[in-house]
């Protein structure tokens, strides 16, 4: 290894350490922090963020990257990929002043605390001034970059490198009418009963059952843990410390199990990244959409499949005999796949979920374009919920305040959720061809071959490839909605006898 490459890796390792330390403080803020700790935590995050930004955007790093780009030009090695990704990240980070990074951390910490209070009291007015500050900072952030085809492109590229707003709109425009057509057909069919899912279930038993499931999946508790949070998430401190959170909802108790499976999907991706990439620009997943493909795959394509239910439902029924008395596996399978327009995105069924994302994308683009009056956001939100899903939130907590993202300034993020759905189905079609008797293996509670395939073909590569490239490398096609439409149509045609 050349002296320059060794020096760049040394600095990138320190930058990674600072980022991971920031993640620890952020995790603690969402899981453990006392009510009065928010302001101090914001300052701590600001200090770390500023130091990290200054270290990464130093002139020395710029010179090292320039020299190494010439040295590794045309190469296809891990080091060449690391230099390419580091160069892209450096070019973007260099445009953002460290003082802005510090300011954003302070504002985001206070915004998060305000969001928690506002959601708890279902009072958007508490959150409004903080959201306004976050949106103002987003506009300021965009101003640091050259004009793009659309200002939203600058934000989207942070989460989905290479993807354009026009690309996402085109995908969604092609997907929306087909999903709406399917939802309409389901609405006219005989409906599924699911009242037994909303009885009283013991939270601790559900927690334990969810952990049993993800142990079977392959989530390694020697390198991870699960805690409670207001909004479930996964976070990575190292390849050997990958944590997840979940939550319990008394009026929708089994959602806890699916939340656990969802976050474990993220966690297993991170646990599967090549350890050699630790503390380099290649650590972590390829993008948020690719990451979301893993969480949605384990939650839905596995966790809501009939073979999965055939294996785990008898155990669940033994755990909750009173709640599930007289319920068979087919009835349970249909219930957990019931299509019904709903208020809460994270609990939405597969057929309607993407409509939640399209709604949020439309609102985010309006925020970025400066044509959305934030004072009217709850009203606009409710109108669009009626337009997209035919339901109206009864209060702010179940409406505009349900997601954590805007409180952290994560604008540009939401489309990756729907894109993740599409990627999950693309991958699944390939997996189903490559892994023999996959349904039988799931039916037997054996997930080794599935996880092994994902480790070999996706997880190990971390951030080495851009999202469109890794999807095409695996499936032969860039991100496309066709496999997802085929998946939804087949599944729900069988459930609803369409």
Contact (CB, 8 A) for 263 and 228: no
Closest by CA to 258, choosing from 222, 220, 312, is 312
Q: Is beta strand 224-228 parallel, antiparallel or unpaired with respect to 241-246?
A: parallel
Q: How far apart are CA 60 and CA 247, in angstroms?
A: 45
pLDDT of res. 20: 97
Catalytic positions are 263
Average pLDDT, 10 consecutive residues per value, the chain (498 residues) = 93 97 95 91 92 95 95 88 96 94 92 94 97 96 96 95 92 91 93 95 98 98 96 95 96 95 98 97 96 97 98 97 97 96 91 94 95 96 93 96 91 92 97 96 98 98 95 95 95 95
pLDDT of res. 74: 78
pLDDT of res. 73: 83
Q: Which structure tokens are listed for 485?
A: 């439409």
Contacts for 9 with CB less than 8 Å, ≥ 6 apart: 1, 82, 279, 280
pLDDT of res. 369: 95
Cβ-defined contacts of 341-346 (< 8 Å, 24+): 341/183, 341/389, 341/390, 341/391, 342/389, 342/391, 343/385, 343/391, 343/393, 343/398, 343/399, 343/402, 344/398, 344/402, 345/402, 345/403, 346/232, 346/255, 346/259
For the chain, how far is it from start to end, CA to CA, in angstroms? 61
pLDDT of res. 231: 84
**Domains contained in the chain, CATH given:** 3-147 (no CATH), 165-495 (1.10.1370.30)
3-state SS string for 225-237: EEEECCCCCEEEE
């Amino acid at each position: 290894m050349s002296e320059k490459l060794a020096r760049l890796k040394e600095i990138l390792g320190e930058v990674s350490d600072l980022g991971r330390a920031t993640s620890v403080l952020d995790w603690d803020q969402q899981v453990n922090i006392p009510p009065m700790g928010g302001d101090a935590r914001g300052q701590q995050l600001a200090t770390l963020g500023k130091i990290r930004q200054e270290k990464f955007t130093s002139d020395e790093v710029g010179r090292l990257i320039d020299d190494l780009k010439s040295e590794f030009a045309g190469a296809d090695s891990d080091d060449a990929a690391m230099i390419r990704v580091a160069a892209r990240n450096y070019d973007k980070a260099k445009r953002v002043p460290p003082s802005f990074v510090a300011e954003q951390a302070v504002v985001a910490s206070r915004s998060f605390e305000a969001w928690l209070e506002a959601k708890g009291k279902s009072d958007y007015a508490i959150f409004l001034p903080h959201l306004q500050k976050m949106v103002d900072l987003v506009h300021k952030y965009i101003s640091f970059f050259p004009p793009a085809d659309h200002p939203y492109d600058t934000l989207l590229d942070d989460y989905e490198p290479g993807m354009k707003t026009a690309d996402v709109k085109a995908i969604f425009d092609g997907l929306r009418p087909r999903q709406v057509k399917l939802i309409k057909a389901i609405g006219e069919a005989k409906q599924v009963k699911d009242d037994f899912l909303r009885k009283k279930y013991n939270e601790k038993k559900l927690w334990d059952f969810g952990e049993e499931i993800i142990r079977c999946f392959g989530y390694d508790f020697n390198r991870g843990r699960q805690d409670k949070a207001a909004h479930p998430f996964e976070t990575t401190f190292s390849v050997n410390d990958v944590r997840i959170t979940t939550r319990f909802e008394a009026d929708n108790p089994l959602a806890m199990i699916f939340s656990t499976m969802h976050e474990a999907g993220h966690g297993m991706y991170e646990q599967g990244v090549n350890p050699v990439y630790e503390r380099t620009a290649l650590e972590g997943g390829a993008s948020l959409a690719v990451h979301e493909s893993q969480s949605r795959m384990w939650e839905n394509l596995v966790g809501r499949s009939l073979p999965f239910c055939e294996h785990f439902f008898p155990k669940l029924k033994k755990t909750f005999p009173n709640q599930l008395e007289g319920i068979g596996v087919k009835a349970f399978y249909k219930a957990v796949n019931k299509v019904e327009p709903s208020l809460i995105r994270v609990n939405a069924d597969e057929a309607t979920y993407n409509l939640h994302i399209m709604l949020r994308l439309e609102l985010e683009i309006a925020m970025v374009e400066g044509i959305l009056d934030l004072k009217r956001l709850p009203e606009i939100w409710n109108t669009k919920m009626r337009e997209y899903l035919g339901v109206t939130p009864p209060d702010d907590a179940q409406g505009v305040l349900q997601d954590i993202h805007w409180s952290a300034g994560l604008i540009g993020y939401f489309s990756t959720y729907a894109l993740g759905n599409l990627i999950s189905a693309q991958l699944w079609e390939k997996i189903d061809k490559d892994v023999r008797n996959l349904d039988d293996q799931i039916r037997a509670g054996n997930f080794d071959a599935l996880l092994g395939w994902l480790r070999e073909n996706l997880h190990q590569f971390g951030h080495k490839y851009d999202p469109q490239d890794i999807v095409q490398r695996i499936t032969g096609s860039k991100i496309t909605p066709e496999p997802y439409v085929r998946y939804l149509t087949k599944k729900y045609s069988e459930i609803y006898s369409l």
